[in-house]
């Protein structure tokens, strides 16, 4: 029996474009652009200078603070320069340009035995490897492996829903790297000191479900939960509700209801760091949309410019209209093909006018459709109006900071109002004002 949550939408899935495309390695680019901010928290501190030689896997920037992560070079080469760029998520970051050499040397860590490795060693390895969450927020993973001692954690939930249309990266993980996924989950369980693991997957992935059922047949502490295909099933609060029946109250975290959630891609990164000694230097991503000549699933060195990826996929069709980093619901529209892929990039979409038609904005119809689909029972039109007219205190009072920016309201708005974009504006503006007051 499948379970789910209240609200949500079911956009056209479009996963058939790449679901049967196995991962391919993108050829190494001649030049890499590594942003020092690829994670939540403060950007990393650069350890190198212009002209320095670096090896593949070598740490070139160290964490700055608790919620920060190191950056490693994905290629062997030489530091060309530092510069300032706009990342795929729209934030400005210092970045390092590395010119690749023809020498193939690496500086990987010592492999560890996943069966005998100690809990503390796993956490330290994940921290050293610079692993960040693959679900979109890019939160440093080692922090989530150490739950507060006063919180009793019952479950580690592995998020394999991949509810965004077009994206099939997580699906390919389940099909091609099943053992890595399960071993990664076991490492998470050991590190977090949790006994039970649950894998949540939507019911539109029957082949992956069958494969997981076979692998998990003899696993007593890991179970599979098949969920109804619906967006945003992969959001933390929705997934916890669907899998355990527990509700995360506004302002609280999964820890507070006894759960830890990691993305299936994060489990694979943890496996690679522990078993192979590899830091997070590659991004696994889907390249799709009707505007790209040859959709693919790729393994790409972090720091690769979008242009290299698009060229490898045959280029852009004449009717392409929009390029998006991430999924179409929560992704970011791009304007510069020199922008680089980061650790948490899950997809690059090239959409045509038919796929991204846009609707001419009109006045709110008061139809209530945004209310009916909001998974968190918020009032998107009121949040939008308060944000648009800079009435942030009123917006906060009705749940502005609770909104997870899933975009369900905007998708369902017949008036074409960019509701989530205005809510996002309100959240960031009010947070900046609050920070000014406290400083």
d(CA 208, CA 203): 9
Predicted model pTM:
0.93
- Secondary element (H or E) of residue 240: helix 236-244
Does the annotation place 374 within a ligand binding site?
yes
| Inter-residue contact 168 to 15 (CB < 8 Å) | yes
Does the annotation place 413 within a ligand binding site?
yes
Helical packing angle, 119-128 and 178-192, nearest 10°: 110
Helical packing angle, 178-192 and 264-271, nearest 10°: 90
Query: How far is C-alpha 50 from the chain's CA centre?
Result: 31
Closest CA to 424 of 435, 411, 410, 414: 410
Architecture of the domain made up of 119-276: 3-Layer(aba) Sandwich (3.40)
Does the annotation place 403 within a ligand binding site?
yes
pLDDT 10s per residue in the chain (439 long)?
556 778 899 999 999 999 999 999 999 999 999 999 988 788 999 999 999 999 999 999 999 988 889 999 999 999 999 999 999 988 889 999 999 998 888 999 999 999 999 999 999 999 999 999 987 678 899 999 988 889 999 999 999 999 999 999 999 999 999 999 999 999 999 999 999 999 999 999 999 999 999 999 989 999 999 999 999 999 999 999 999 999 999 889 999 999 999 999 999 999 999 999 999 999 999 999 999 999 999 999 999 999 999 999 999 999 999 999 999 999 999 999 999 999 999 999 999 999 988 778 999 999 999 999 999 999 999 999 999 999 999 999 999 999 999 999 999 999 999 999 999 999 989 888 777 777 6
Total Cβ atoms within 10 A of residue 262: 25
d(CA 118, CA 186): 12
Q: Burial, 377: exposed, middle or buried (Cβ in 10 Å; 0-12, 13-18, 19+)?
A: exposed
d(CA 400, CA 146): 29
d(CA 341, CA 206): 30
Helical packing angle, 178-192 and 206-215, nearest 10°: 60
- What does the pLDDT read at residue 3? 66
Does the annotation place 259 within a ligand binding site?
no
Closest CA to 252 of 237, 241, 239, 235: 237
- What does the pLDDT read at residue 39? 82
- What does the pLDDT read at residue 435? 75
- What does the pLDDT read at residue 90? 86
Does the annotation place 370 within a ligand binding site?
yes
- What does the pLDDT read at residue 2? 52
Segments of the chain assigned to CATH 3.40.50.11540: 119-276
Using only C-alpha atoms, the chain has a radius of gyration, in whole angstroms, of: 21
- What does the pLDDT read at residue 437? 73
Return the half-sphere exposure (C-beta side, CA atoms, 13 A cut-off) of residue 115: 0
- What does the pLDDT read at residue 439? 64
Query: 100 vs 49, 54, 105, 225, CA distance in Å?
Result: 16, 9, 11, 44
- Secondary element (H or E) of residue 78: strand 77-86
Does the annotation place 367 within a ligand binding site?
yes
Kindly compute the dihedral angle of the four CA atoms of residues 362, 365, 371, 375, in this order, to the nearest 10 degrees.
-30
Does the annotation place 409 within a ligand binding site?
yes
Q: Burial, 3: exposed, middle or buried (Cβ in 10 Å; 0-12, 13-18, 19+)?
A: middle
């Amino acid at each position: 029996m499948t379970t789910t949550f209240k609200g949500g939408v079911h956009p056209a899935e479009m996963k058939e474009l790449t679901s049967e495309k196995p991962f391919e390695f993108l050829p190494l680019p001649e030049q890499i652009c590594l942003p020092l901010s690829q994670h939540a928290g403060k950007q990393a501190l650069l350890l190198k200078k212009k002209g320095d030689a670096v090896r593949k896997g070598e740490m070139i920037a160290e964490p700055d603070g608790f919620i920060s992560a190191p950056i490693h070079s994905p290629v062997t080469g030489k530091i060309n320069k530092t510069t300032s760029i706009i990342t795929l998520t729209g934030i400005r970051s210092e970045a390092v340009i590395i010119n690749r050499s023809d020498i193939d040397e690496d500086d990987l860590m010592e492999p560890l035995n996943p069966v005998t490795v100690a809990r503390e060693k796993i956490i330290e390895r994940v921290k050293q490897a610079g692993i960040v969450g693959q679900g979109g927020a890019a939160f440093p993973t080692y922090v989530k492996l150490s739950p507060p001692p006063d919180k009793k954690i019952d479950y580690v939930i592995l998020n394999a829903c991949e509810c965004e249309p077009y994206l099939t990266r997580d699906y390919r993980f389940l099909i091609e790297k099943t053992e890595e996924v399960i071993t990664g989950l076991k490492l998470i369980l050991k590190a977090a000191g949790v006994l039970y693991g649950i894998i949540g997957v939507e019911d539109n992935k029957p082949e992956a479900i069958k494969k997981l059922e076979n692998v998990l047949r003899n696993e007593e502490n890991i179970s599979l939960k098949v969920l109804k295909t619906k967006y945003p099933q992969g959001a933390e609060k929705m997934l916890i509700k669907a899998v355990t029946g527990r509700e995360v109250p506004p302002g609280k975290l999964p820890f507070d209801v006894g759960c830890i959630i990691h993305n299936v891609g994060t489990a694979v990164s943890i496996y690679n760091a522990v078993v192979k000694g590899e830091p997070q230097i590659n991004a696994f991503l889907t390249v799709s949309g009707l505007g790209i000549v040859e959709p693919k699933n790729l393994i790409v060195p972090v720091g690769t410019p979008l242009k290299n990826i698009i060229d490898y996929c045959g280029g852009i069709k004449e009717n392409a209209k929009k390029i998006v980093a991430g999924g179409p619901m929560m992704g970011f529209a791009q304007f510069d093909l020199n922008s680089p892929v980061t650790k948490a990039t899950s997809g690059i979409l090239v959409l045509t006018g038919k796929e991204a038609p846009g609707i001419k904005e009109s006045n709110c119809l008061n139809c209530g459709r945004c209310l009916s689909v909001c998974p968190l029972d918020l009032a998107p039109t009121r949040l939008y109006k308060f944000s648009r007219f800079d009435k942030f205190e009123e917006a906060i009072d009705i749940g502005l900071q609770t909104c997870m920016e899933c975009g369900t309201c905007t998708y369902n708005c017949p008036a074409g109002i960019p509701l989530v974009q205005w809510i996002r504006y309100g959240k960031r503006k009010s947070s900046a004002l609050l920070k000014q007051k406290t400083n």
